[in-house]
Amino acid sequence: MQKRSVDAVVIGAGSAGLNAAAELEKAGADWLLVEAAQYGTTCARVGCMPSKLLVAAADAADAVERAKLFGIRARDIEVDGEAVFDRVRRERDRFVAGAISDTERLPAARRMLGRARFVGPTTVRVDETLELDAKAVVIATGSSPVVPPVFDAVRDRVLTSDGVFELTRVPESLAVIGTGIVGLELGQALGRLGAEVTFLDRLTNVGPLTDPELQRYIRTVLGRTLNLELGVTVESAEAAGRGIRLGWKSPEGEVRSGEFEQVLVAAGRRPNVAGLGLEKTGLELDERGMPMRWDPQTTQCGDAPIFLAGDVNNHAPLLHEAIDEGRIAGENAARYPDIARHVRRTPLMIVFSEPQMAIAGQSYASLDHDRTEVAEASFEKQGRARVMGRNVGLVRLYATRDDCILRGAELFGPDAEHLAHLLSWAVQQRMTVQRLLRMPYYHPVLEEGLRTGLRRLARQLRVERGRPCEDLAVSPGM
């Protein structure tokens, strides 16, 4: 076996790993990037990009359908599923090619294909060919879809997000297991493209929003068009002809079943740590085999020269967070033991459902409720939303009483992706409700809906006039 000493090994050439490598290069370190499967990243291959391509196709079908509302009738509307998936794959392949060429631009001596595992605290073996003695290791191995044991008998037939983009037509019937982000985005898109979709989830939440008022509203609104089986337990899954028969129990104990052409399992993702040999690192591990001590501001595990970046740490499994964590991990791997702390960005999460959902800043679940004022605004009568015929939605805004600073918001409604950006930027700037109300608002725009909610917050905070809390917001030490 060949042996080599390096400053740092980066395990995984996804978005986090590539960014870690870029920082190591910038720092002038001697590093090596190891990838087990293929270059191209999860985001481009089976994640953000192909899922948004499918959602874009569904949006186009919706737009034609909704045109009736405006007196515009398109005749002979047909969803050509083959063409839909052809475009998804064609465009997806362009994004993958971009990611591959970014990776292949790295010097050949700095990257290799092979499965890495620890054989000592900072000794990493790649397959059985190379042993690397490293001063620091960045683990950026990502995550994989979980397929629960109840699907064992049909494991090779069910779809996950890894395989769904290889479909060549829209299935006639589809069961989606899981109403989280992935299940909702993909299941709803396929439904809007013509599949008859049944969503099953053991919880009663639809999407990741944590505000109970929003969850109630979402269930009511989406329940009008989606077949939602919530709070259920899937008890059986077996092959039936060319499809799959599922059996499940309702919350009332009623046993139900259904036959589906396809089943998409979107029951969560698991960090890729199996077989990584983390037990050889000396790190304290929990019952799932994950390091017990991990710091999001440094990405370091305890005091060890081991850094965990991207989906593998399960902290905020989103692309922009994976990039940030890769950068932080790469920088710290190069500087170890002189570790730098980084202030993380304000949280921002968007679901490309229809209507969209988003969390900007603090979620409802993370608020200190004794200190927080909550106000809401509906999009049902909002001017611009009605003009566009997209007048469904609700935003809930959270501000702290003692300083009137906007802390967060949860949204469900038209163009939530854009409104959530404005709100998270305001949260990160520590803007008060009063300051936000002094910003310009054009007419008629969806942002006026936010203003309605902010005005309510100002009334509740009793800061409609004057600026009693404004000074507090900018005082030192806040």
Phi/psi zone of residue 74: left (φ > 0), alpha (ψ -120 to 50 degrees), beta?
beta
Going by the DSSP 8-state scheme, the letter that residue 338 receives in this structure is S
8, 10, 33, 42: residue in contact with ligand FAD (rule CB under 6 A): 42
Residue 138 near residue 333 (C-beta atoms within 8 A):
yes
Is 310 an interacting residue with respect to ligand FAD (CB under 6 A)?
A: yes
Residue among 6, 8, 51, 179 that touches ligand FAD (CB under 6 A): 51
Contact map string, positions 174 to 193, toward ligand FAD, x by CB under 6 A: --------x-----------
Q: Considering the complex, state which of residue 19 and residue 452 has its C-beta at the smaller distance from ligand FAD.
A: 19
Task: Specify the residue, 363 or 452, whose C-beta has the smaller distance to ligand FAD.
Answer: 363
Closer to ligand FAD by CB, 119 or 255: give it.
119
Which is nearer to ligand FAD, 54 or 436 (by Cβ)?
A: 54
Q: Which residue is nearest to ligand FAD (CB)?
A: 14
The helix (H) or strand (E) run that includes residue 306 is: strand 306-308
Q: Which of 187, 291, 305, 317 binds ligand FAD (CB under 6 A)?
A: 317
Q: Considering the complex, state which of residue 126 and residue 377 has its C-beta at the smaller distance from ligand FAD.
A: 126
3-state secondary structure of 327: helix
For ligand FAD, the closer of residues 114 and 468 by Cβ is: 114
Per-residue CA distances from 47 to 201, 218, 272 (Å) = 21, 24, 16
258 binds ligand FAD (CB under 6 A): no
Geometric angle at alpha carbon 364, from 362 and 370, rounded to 5°: 100
**Residue 23 touches ligand FAD, criterion: CB under 6 A:** no
Q: Does the footprint of ligand FAD cover residue 34 (CB under 6 A)? A: yes
Least distance (Å) between residue 272 CB and ligand FAD: 4
Under 8 Å between Cβ of 416 and 434: no
Pull the structure tokens for residue 59: 């949006």
424 is an interface residue for ligand FAD by CB under 6 A: no
Six-digit token string for 72: 């515009």
Which residue, 30, 233, 42, is CA-closest to 144? 42
What part of residues 125-164 is at the interface with ligand FAD (CB under 6 A)? 140-142, 161
Q: Which residue has the tokens 């969803």?
A: 79
Q: Does the footprint of ligand FAD cover residue 322 (CB under 6 A)? A: yes
| Helix and strand totals (H; E) in the chain | 12, 21
Six token digits for residue 396: 């809930």
184 vs 433, which CB is nearer to ligand FAD? 184
**Is position 115 an interface residue for ligand FAD (rule: CB under 6 A)?**
yes
| 318 near ligand FAD, judged by CB under 6 A | yes
Among 20, 21, 31, 47, binds ligand FAD (CB under 6 A): 47
Residue 33 φ/ψ, nearest 5 degrees? -105, 130
Q: Which of 6, 8, 10, 14 binds ligand FAD (CB under 6 A)?
A: 14
The burial class, CB within 10 Å (0-12 / 13-18 / 19+), for 447 is: middle
Pull the structure tokens for residue 21: 């490598």
**How many positions of this chain bind ligand FAD (CB under 6 A)?**
35
Query: Which positions ≥6 away from 295 have C-beta within 8 Å?
Result: none
Min dist CB 101 to ligand FAD, Å, is 16
Q: Which of 43, 193, 228, 263 binds ligand FAD (CB under 6 A)?
A: 43
**Binding window for ligand FAD (CB under 6 A); candidates: 190-198, 240-248, 293-301, 316-324:** 316-324
Distances (CA, A) of 163 to 14, 127, 155, 233: 18, 26, 12, 24
Q: Which of 20, 31, 32, 41 binds ligand FAD (CB under 6 A)?
A: 41
Between 340 and 379, how does the x/- string for binding to ligand FAD read (CB under 6 A)? ----------------------------------------
Of the residues 8, 9, 10, 11, which one makes contact with ligand FAD according to CB under 6 A: 11
Nearest to 305 by CA among 9, 35, 1, 2: 9
Q: Does 48 bind ligand FAD (CB under 6 A)?
A: yes
Q: Of the candidates 122, 188, 272, 391, which one interacts with ligand FAD according to CB under 6 A?
A: 272
Q: Between 213 and 417, name the residue whose CB sits nearer to ligand FAD.
A: 417
Identify the residue among 6, 10, 16, 170 touching ligand FAD (CB under 6 A): 16
Instruction: Please list the alpha-helical segments (H only) found in 1-47.
Output: 15-26, 42-46
- Residues 54, 136: Cα–Cα separation, whole Å: 40
In the bound complex, what is the minimum distance in angstroms from residue 478's beta carbon to ligand FAD?
A: 30
Q: Does 9 bind ligand FAD (CB under 6 A)?
A: no
Residue 264 CB partners (closer than 8 Å, separation 6+): 158, 159, 160, 161, 164, 174, 175, 176, 177, 183, 186, 187, 190
Tokens read off for 259:
């036959």
In single-letter form, the type of residue at position 30 comes to D
d(CA 386, CA 388): 5
Q: Which residues bind ligand FAD (CB under 6 A)?
A: 11-17, 34-37, 41-43, 46-48, 51, 115-116, 140-142, 161, 182, 272, 276, 310-312, 317-320, 322
